[in-house]
Structure 1
Amino acid sequence: MTAMTPPTRTQPDLSYLLDHTSHVLRTRMAAALAEIGLTARMHCVLVHALEGERTQSELAGIGDMDKTTMVVTVDALEKAGLAERRPSSTDRRARIIAVTEKGARTAERSQRIVDSVHGQALDALPDGDRETFLRLLDHLAGGHLSTPSPAPARRARQHSG
């Protein structure tokens, strides 16, 4: 049997670089926020709910969470006394997520943690490259890589026999 030669890579493995660094950043963020009893999702909901009156659905969209994950996240925030579901002031059928005073203090604390974790990651870059890196990453995220491709259609299984 003849050994086959793998294809020659013509580009850096961007998928690996982005996936790996994103994974490590998420694990560091999770560990840092866990020290104050929060998850990244809880932090996201608190911060965005403080920006204005938002429904659970709107906050789920901002945080890229499915409905079930959002319900679990808000339940945890309520249990911790950080937020509560309340009727909307503009639509009596809608319920908004209102942050408590304790939640607002916690959001301040968690934002400092998030900023610190991000700062530590950026501090690993040479001084002159940080702004360029962020500008280019923002360009990718807001441009060419802003919208995921639709999931491919699943093919029906073919029965053998």
Structure 2
Amino acid sequence: MTDRIAKLVGMTAMAPSRTSPDLSYLLDHASHVLRTRMAAALAEIGLTSRMHCVLVHALEAERTQIQLAEIGDMDKTTMVVTVDALEKAGLAERRPSSTDRRARIIAVTEEGARVARQSQEIVDRVHEEALGTLATSNREVFLRVMNQLVTGHLAKPVEAPGPVRRARQHER
């Protein structure tokens, strides 16, 4: 019986050969490392990537918490926790909307605007450090091709039969 199992295992032990690079690994790994670098850099000023995202997008226009959650790809609970932290730090506050009395917007304080400028410099620096490892000509091609992917074939997720573990953290 043992010889028979060994033969069966031996016959099925070969992994299939790849016919193309492991794009999933490359994109996941690069994204994970970039997110960890971003998190560490923003932590130096007491922010998370989500806090940065909310501050920057709330400064662009009057936006509700729900609108900011959609932009930042956050669920309601995460958004509430993020805004609570921004309020506690004195960087933002919930206020009634000027256009819809039923809605509440996230308003950035003066200190929040200062911190947002500082955090944007940090985000830009982390991105520049990553892209700076590429030759200028490769950088331009890389960015053009990545934009083609995320606005084309990889623009929207498809329905999956079960939950797919999803990495958050795309900054807009």
Q: Is 1:56 the equivalent of 2:65?
A: yes
Q: Which of 145, 150, 156 matches 2:154?
A: 145
Q: Who is 2:110 aligned against?
A: 101
- TM-score (structure 2 length as normaliser): 0.88
How many angstroms apart in 2 are the aligned matches of 1:153 and 1:126?
A: 40
Instruction: Tell me which moved more, 123-132 or 51-60.
Output: 123-132
Question: 1:83: how far off?
Answer: 0.2
What is the alpha-carbon distance in structure 1 between the residues aligned to residue 109 and residue 159 of structure 2? 39
1:34 is aligned to 43
* Matching residue of 2:120: 111
Deviation at residue 90 of structure 1 after TM alignment:
0.4
SS of the aligned residue for 2:139 comes to: helix
For 2:15, the aligned partner's letter is: P
Identity %: 73
Q: How many residue pairs end up in the alignment?
A: 154
Which shifted more, 145-154 or 88-97? 145-154
Higher relative contact order (CA 8 A, sep 6+): 2
Aligned equivalents of 1:61 and 1:127: distance in 2?
33
Q: How much is the aligned-residue C-alpha RMSD, in angstroms?
A: 1.0
How far, CA to CA, are the matches of 2:162 and 2:131 in structure 1? 39
Query: Of 51, 72, 76, which residue of structure 1 is paired with 2:85?
Result: 76
Q: What secondary structure is seen at the aligned counterpart in 2 of 1:81?
A: coil
| Structure 1 spans left out of the alignment, 5+ residues | 155-161
TM-score (ref. length: structure 1) = 0.93
Deviation beyond 2 Å, 4+ runs, structure 1: none
1:80 Cα deviation (Å)? 0.3
